[in-house]
Chains A and B, each alone.
Chain A
Amino acid sequence: MKHPILRGLLAMFAGVSLAAALVGSDYLANFKTGDPELKSTGSIAFGPQGILFVADQKAARIVAIATGDLVPASTGKRYEVSDIDAKVAASLGVSPDQIQVHDLAVNPISRNAWLSVSRGRGADAQPVILNVSAKGSVSLLEMDRVKFASVALPNAPEDKITGQGRRAKNKRLESITDMAYVNDQLIVAGLSNEEFASNLRAIPFPFKNVNSGASIEIYHGAHGKFETHSPVRTFTPFDFGQGDIHLVAAYTCTPLVTFPLSELKPKAHVMGRTIGEMGNRNRPLDMVVYSKEGSDYLLMANSARGVMKVETINFDSLPSIDSKVADTEGAPFDTIADWEGIEQLDLLDDAHALVVQKTESGGRNLVSLALP
């Protein structure tokens, strides 16, 4: 998800054309032109220069696509698109029940909304990447001739039959639960449909080789006594100051934790520092970090407990609630009452979020909201 560090970098790219040209030649140097032949689409995230990372989990890889969406946004771009799911379905020529919207990402250069969508619900659902303008027009990213690069996820399932000759086809797949680009690395969180383990990877970009991004073992510590594998469900990079970048993450088992980006080395054994438990009967869905009036905040969308605004001022000084003695409840937060039904969340600009919001009538709107 987007964050101030990345936005700063991208503003620089967008604003300084010479720099963009120089850096661009680096980022796109290994890109091929053709059809990436996506098998599926899930999480998406923007990197530099309008490059969109797409999780193609059925093919066990991440594809970086040069969208060419490079025209800097006019100031004050706002979204007020009602029934976005119906509009997407209509554009793709199907009934709304045949559409799955997996993720929303805002291109920080153009401030355009991009959606990752499956057309259909079966195994042969077609992966679709869409661009939605502020006026609500939906256009398709045609894939037959794009510039792209891809990286296989390590431990990818092998379709070839190995070893035990007539062994049933490998059914292992990894669901990518979130991605973010920071400091020339794509951070990818995944969860396997078989073994229960953390699959967090820091993949250098431009992609170099298939072995990059070996899995980092992420653990949750409970009361200083127990330690368990803890797959990450959603996360966002956050600068603790002086370039000390951490990931703030929510585990599938719900605690909110932080760990330093510098520790995310292949095969590292990293235990997140628990700074909050965001509650029972609830699933964190998405998070962003933003600044307002000199303070930084974490905004987290949840399945059941609305959107939470968490003060980050004490993130690096809060006692870890993993410790045996701590009786703290962790980071203080407010629930933003009017932000109900938020299913997708990203930053539109410094002062606005872009959300997919489910309405009482069951429709979904794509709207920009002033950050609380």
Chain B
Amino acid sequence: MFRAQRAGSGLSALCSSSLFIITMRSRRGLATVLFAIQFLPLAFASDAVRIAATPIDGKERTGESVTVESLESGGHQITSTAAGTLSLYTANPNRVDIPAVIGKSLRVNDKQKFEPRFPLQTGIQYFVAVGSEGDSGKSRLFSFSLPKPEREPTARVAAVFPSADTLPENLLKFYVHFSEPMSAGDSYKHVRLLDERGDPVELPFLELGEELWDGENRRFTLLFDPGRVKSGLLPRRESGAVLESGKRYTLEILNTWRDANGQPLKASFRKSFQVGKPDGESPRVEAWKIASPRAGALDPLEIEFEESLDEALLHRLIEVRDPSGNPIEGTIAIDRNERRWRLTPARPWGEGRYQIQVRTLLEDVAGNSVGRPFEVDLEASDGRRPEPFVFREFTIR
């Protein structure tokens, strides 16, 4: 077995290399080797460690050694000087019936080598069986683990949208933004909706095995169960709407949610909000207030909405075009509880007539899009399909 210890700070100079070696030798006194780590997907940052090794069965034989080193590719290579095939396991193969780690066996200069198909994980114990293939009982068994750097939790909930304190009864979703990439796969375990007494509301959210993340695992989309938002469906008839007008609720993100490095959040997060009347109306683009900047200035164009709109869609679905029809480059800022959208141009505004193109997919926080309310009343609808865009214009002088 191995004993891993943290090395002193004087070793840090050794850590700059991407190469590290763990040596496991059965001869007493030769078991200590230093190495540096530069790590990869499942693993974590560099650190220096010192490892003292003994073979797992305690029976030592002269000249036998098993080493682990990292490769430039980010993978690892295990080398054995002992005779016989080399297999890697994530548990003791003499005790647990598990398959060997998938990888490639090589023989180089009388040494048996094995490259696991994927980089190894820090913090778990690996077992190396050297000997008769397919009969681990006759193998010599070694063990190692790649040290897991000790880390303080740093990830936190950076923002939750919609940000307003009063939200409609038919609120459709929250966006939860994290300061760092997060772990996926069991996300709904770490989210609760609490009622006024602090009791969790039962199954308020649509739990999808696929989970709705952005590409960096920093933004999580949390949809309310649409069966309890839409009118007339069994979940809503039996359990009622998730949110009730006039009551207060708290969205709670528990610190048990782990970041991509396996660390919990620094703290739990709570957003408390009042619930108002349901919103069944489409956003009215014609009612938006547009404040035009002056020609020659770098002041932002400002658009104020009648209600809070979907924060994510606001970043994508509004575009401003200059008098020649070219899109204006600049920086978008959204504030006032997602009721204001500002575009600060990269270059000063020129004079002329500008066009604001709004995709009718743009939604408010209850899923009513510019083109279509969330629920269309078929008796009142003219049945027409929405156009893809609506337009507003403004003039810069």
Contact = CB atoms under 8 A, between A and B. Distances in A.
A292 interface: no
Contact of A197 (B183, B202, B328, B361): B361
B227 interface: yes
Interface stretch (B3-11, B27-35, B50-58, B313-321): B313-321
Contacts of B215: 58, 123, 157, 171, 173
A163 B322 CA distance: 11
A45 interface: no
Contacts of B173: 196
A278 B331 CA distance: 47
Interface string B210-233: 111111111101010111011111
Nearest to B223: A196
A94 interface: yes
A36 interface: no
B88 interface: yes
Contacts of A124: 41, 260
Contact of B101 (A57, A86, A92, A281): A92
A172 interface: yes
A228 B374 contact: yes
Interface stretch (B14-22, B118-126, B243-251, B267-275): B118-126
Nearest to B374: A228
Interface in B37-53: 41-42
B203 A196 contact: no
Interface stretch (A13-21, A24-32, A180-188, A217-225): A217-225
Contact of A225 (B181, B208, B229, B378): B378
Contact of B99 (A87, A125, A229): A87
Nearest to B258: A121
A280 B221 CA distance: 22
Interface centre among B42, B89, B124, by most chain A C-beta atoms within 10 angstroms, is: B42
Contacts of A191: 208, 210, 212
B352 interface: no
Q: Which of B100, B120, B239, B378 has the most CB of A within 10 A?
A: B378
A255 B89 CA distance: 46
A69 interface: no
B285 interface: no
B265 to A, nearest CB: 14
B160 interface: no
Contacts of A303: 207
A165 B376 contact: no
A251 B230 CA distance: 12
A125 B212 contact: no
A191 B102 CA distance: 34
B332 interface: yes
Contact of A281 (B203, B214, B346): B203
Main secondary structure of the interface of B (DSSP, over half): loop
Contacts of B121: 93-95, 98
A173 B328 CA distance: 25
A163 B41 contact: no
A162 B327 contact: yes
Contacts of B183: 121-122
Contacts of A95: 90, 121, 124
A125 B184 contact: yes
A164 B328 contact: yes
Given A102-B209, A194-B221, A164 B99 contact: no
B98 interface: yes
Interface string A270-284: 000000010111010
A21 B329 CA distance: 54
A121 B261 CA distance: 9
A165 B41 contact: no
Contacts of A122: 41, 181-184, 217, 259-261
6 contacts: A90-B90, A92-B117, A119-B42, A193-B219, A195-B361, A196-B172
Interface of A: 42-43, 57-58, 86-87, 89-95, 98, 100, 102, 118-126, 137-140, 157, 162-168, 170-173, 175-177, 191-197, 220-231, 233, 251-255, 269, 277, 279-281, 283, 285, 303
Which 6 residue pairs of A and B lie closest in terms of their CB atoms, listed nearest first?
Answer: A165-B329, A122-B260, A163-B327, A175-B210, A171-B214, A121-B183
Interface of B: 41-42, 88-91, 98-103, 116-118, 120-121, 124, 126, 172-173, 181-185, 202-203, 206-219, 221, 223, 225-227, 229-235, 238-239, 258-261, 310, 312-313, 315-316, 319-320, 327-332, 343, 346, 361, 363, 367, 369, 374-379, 381, 385
Given A125-B41, A195-B363, A229-B367, 16 more contacts: A58-B215, A89-B90, A90-B98, A102-B209, A119-B118, A120-B41, A123-B218, A124-B260, A165-B330, A175-B210, A177-B208, A226-B375, A229-B374, A230-B226, A231-B226, A281-B202
